[in-house]
C-alpha cells in the first residue's frame, strides 16, 4: 500500500523518543521499585477553581460546537493577559485557540513553513520540535546552545546558519530541557537577524510562569519592532498543572491569525467550550499554582546540584521549568547506555540527552516534579551508581 511522504518524514520522531519512559512504566507495572524522573508531569493536581469552572460549564451545557478560532470569552481573556504582559495592545483577533501547545505549534509550522524551507531551532530542543518542523516539509536546522553561555541562544550562532531557504526560527524560553531563559538583549539581537532576513519568530513560552526567583524573562511579543513577525504559543498545561485539559493558544499578528484560521477549522474547528471557560478563568490572573511549583522546583534543582556535584557528576542549574541536566561524561558512558544502566540497576529513570539533540549527548535530563523525599532517594541511587561505575576497572585494567 502507498502512504503519504509525511509518514516518512516523521518516522522514529514520535513515541520512539520516549523508549526509556515506556521501559520504566513496564518495570513498575511488573512490581519493580521505580523512581520515574522522565516526564514533566506537575507535582500537584490542577487547582480546584479550574476544575469547578469546567464542571460548572459542563452542567450548563457548554458541550456544543465551538467558535473555530476559540471561544470569544477565552480569546478576550488572553488578549487582556498579553496586553498586560507586553505593554502593547493585543486584540482577540490575534488569538487562535488549540488543544494544547503541541497542536498550536503543528498548526503554526504548517502555516508558516513548507517543503524547500528551513526552520532554525536551538539544539538541544524539546523532543517534538523536529517532528512539527518536518511535518510541514521544512528542514530543521539545529543551532547549538552552548553550556558556557548557560544554554542561551547566541545571535552569532543563529546568523551563521541563516540561508536563503530559512523561513522561521523556533525559540523556546524558558527552555526545555535546559531551563535557560533568554534575556532582553538576547531577544533584541535575535530580532535584528529576523528583521534582516525577513524571518518569522515562533516562541514557545509554555514555562513563562515557572521562572525561578531572579531570572529575567523577555518575550519577542513585547517588542513592537517584531510585532509583524512574532507568534507566541502556550497553554495552561504547566502554569496550572493541567496537561490533561489540552488547552493552548497562539498569539499572532491579525493577518496571520486570519490566514491560519481556515487551517485551524480544517484540523479541529475550535476547542471544547467547557474547557475554554475554565481556561478563561485560569488566564485572568497570574497562577498561584505556578508560583508554588516554581519555588519547589528551584529548591529541588539547588538540592540536586549540591549533592551530585559533591561526587563525579555536574549539573546545569536551570533558571526555570521542570527539569535539570546532568553531565554524565565523567562516567565514560554514552547518555543512552547510562540511562539504560541506571534504570536496570537502580530503578531511576532519566531521559538520555541525545533525545533532545546531539549537542547534549553525554548529558541526561531529570524531572524535578517528584516529592522531595523521592528526589533525595533518587539522588542517593544516582550517586551510588556513579561511584560504583567510576571505581569499576576498564577492560584494559581487568
Q: What is the mean predicted confidence (pLDDT) over 321-327?
A: 97
Kindly list the structural domains of the chain, giving each domain's residue range(s) and its CATH number in brackets, ordered by start.
5-45+288-391 (3.90.1150.10), 67-282 (3.40.640.10)
Round to whole Å and give the CA distance between 323 and 320.
8
Q: Which CB contacts under 8 angstroms, 24+ apart, belong to 108-111?
A: 108/202, 108/231, 108/233, 108/250, 108/252, 108/260, 109/133, 109/135, 109/136, 109/138, 109/168, 109/170, 109/202, 110/135, 110/136, 110/263, 111/256, 111/259, 111/260, 111/263
pLDDT at 312 over 90: no
Of 145, 136, 144, the residue nearest 115 (C-alpha): 136
pLDDT tens figures, 149-208: 999 999 999 999 999 999 999 999 999 999 999 999 999 999 999 999 999 999 999 999
How much of the chain, in percent, has pLDDT values that exceed 90? 89
pLDDT at 397 over 60: no
Task: Tell me the pLDDT of the chain averaged across its residues.
Answer: 94
Of 23, 14, 18, 12, the residue nearest 40 (C-alpha): 18
Residues 129 and 120 sit within 8 Å (Cβ to Cβ) = no
What pLDDT shows up at residue 15?
72
Round to whole Å and give the CA distance between 218 and 227.
14
The contacts of residue 119 (CB under 8 Å, 6+ apart) are: 109, 113, 133, 136, 138, 139, 140, 141, 166, 167, 168, 169, 170
The contacts of residue 332 (CB under 8 Å, 6+ apart) are: 389
In whole angstroms, what separates CA 171 from the centre of its chain? 10
**pLDDT band (50, 70, 90) for residue 229:** very high
Q: Three-class SS of residue 190? A: helix
pLDDT tens figures, 49-61: 999 999 999 999 9
Q: What is the mean predicted confidence (pLDDT) over 304-311?
A: 93
Q: Judging by beta carbons within 10 Å of its beta carbon (0-12, 13-18, 19+), is residue 26 exposed, middle or buried? A: exposed
Q: pTM, whole model, 2 decimals?
A: 0.94
pLDDT tens figures, 91-110: 999 999 999 999 999 999 99
Of 108, 237, 122, 222, the residue nearest 172 (C-alpha): 122
**pLDDT band (50, 70, 90) for residue 269:** confident
What pLDDT shows up at residue 396?
42
What pLDDT shows up at residue 86?
96
Question: What's the 3-state SS for 376-396?
Answer: HHHHHHHHHHHHHHHHCCCCC
Round to whole Å and give the CA distance between 293 and 173.
17
Cell 530559512 sits on residue: 166
What pLDDT shows up at residue 395?
45
**What end-to-end distance do the CA atoms of the chain give, in Å?**
54
Cell 533558571 sits on residue: 319
Round to whole Å and give the CA distance between 53 and 14.
33
What pLDDT shows up at residue 268?
87
What pLDDT shows up at residue 391?
54
Of 37, 67, 145, the residue nearest 378 (C-alpha): 37
pLDDT tens figures, 376-395: 999 999 999 998 877 554 44
Q: What is the mean predicted confidence (pLDDT) over 341-369?
A: 96
Q: What angle do CA 217, 222, 224 make, to 5 degrees?
A: 150
Amino acid at each position: 500500500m502507498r502512504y503519504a511522504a509525511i509518514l516518512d518524514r516523521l518516522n522514529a520522531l514520535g513515541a520512539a523518543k520516549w523508549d526509556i519512559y515506556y521501559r520504566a512504566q513496564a518495570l513498575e507495572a511488573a512490581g519493580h521499585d521505580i523512581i520515574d524522573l522522565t516526564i514533566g508531569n506537575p507535582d500537584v493536581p490542577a487547582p480546584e477553581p479550574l476544575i469547578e469552572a469546567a464542571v460548572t460549564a459542563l452542567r450548563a451545557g457548554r458541550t456544543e460546537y465551538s467558535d473555530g478560532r476559540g471561544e470569544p470569552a477565552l480569546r478576550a481573556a488572553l488578549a487582556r493577559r498579553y496586553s498586560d504582559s507586553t505593554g502593547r495592545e493585543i486584540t482577540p483577533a490575534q488569538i487562535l485557540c488549540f488543544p494544547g501547545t503541541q497542536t498550536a505549534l503543528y498548526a503554526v509550522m504548517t502555516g508558516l513553513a513548507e517543503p524547500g524551507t528551513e526552520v532554525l531551532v536551538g539544539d538541544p530542543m524539546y523532543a517534538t520540535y523536529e517532528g512539527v518542523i518536518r511535518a510541514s516539509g521544512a528542514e530543521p536546522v539545529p543551532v547549538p546552545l552552548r553550556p558556557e553561555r548557560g544554554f542561551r541562544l547566541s545571535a552569532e550562532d543563529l546568523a551563521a546558519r541563516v540561508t536563503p531557504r530559512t523561513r522561521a526560527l523556533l525559540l523556546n524560553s524558558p527552555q526545555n530541557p535546559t531551563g535557560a531563559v533568554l534575556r532582553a538583549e538576547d531577544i533584541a539581537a535575535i530580532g535584528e537577524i529576523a528583521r534582516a532576513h525577513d524571518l518569522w519568530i515562533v516562541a514557545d513560552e509554555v514555562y513563562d510562569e515557572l521562572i525561578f526567583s531572579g531570572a529575567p524573562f523577555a518575550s519577542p511579543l513585547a517588542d513592537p519592532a517584531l510585532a509583524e513577525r512574532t507568534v507566541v504559543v502556550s497553554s495552561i498545561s504547566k502554569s496550572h498543572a493541567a496537561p490533561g485539559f489540552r488547552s493552548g493558544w497562539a498569539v499572532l499578528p491579525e493577518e496571520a491569525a486570519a490566514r491560519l484560521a481556515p487551517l485551524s477549522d480544517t484540523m479541529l474547528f475550535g476547542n471544547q467550550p467547557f474547557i475554554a471557560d475554565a481556561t478563561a478563568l485560569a488566564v485572568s490572573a497570574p497562577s498561584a499554582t505556578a508560583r508554588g511549583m516554581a519555588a519547589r522546583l528551584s529548591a529541588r534543582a539547588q538540592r540536586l546540584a549540591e549533592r551530585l556535584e559533591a561526587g563525579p557528576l555536574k549539573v546545569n542549574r536551570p533558571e526555570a521549568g521542570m527539569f535539570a541536566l546532568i553531565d554524565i561524561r565523567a562516567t565514560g558512558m554514552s547518555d543512552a547506555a547510562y540511562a539504560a544502566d541506571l534504570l536496570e540497576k537502580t530503578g531511576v529513570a532519566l531521559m538520555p540527552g541525545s533525545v533532545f539533540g546531539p549537542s547534549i549527548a553525554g548529558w541526561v535530563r531529570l524531572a524535578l516534579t517528584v516529592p522531595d523525599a523521592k528526589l533525595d532517594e533518587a539522588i542517593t541511587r544516582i550517586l551510588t551508581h556513579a561511584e560504583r561505575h567510576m571505581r569499576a576497572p576498564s577492560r584494559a585494567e581487568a
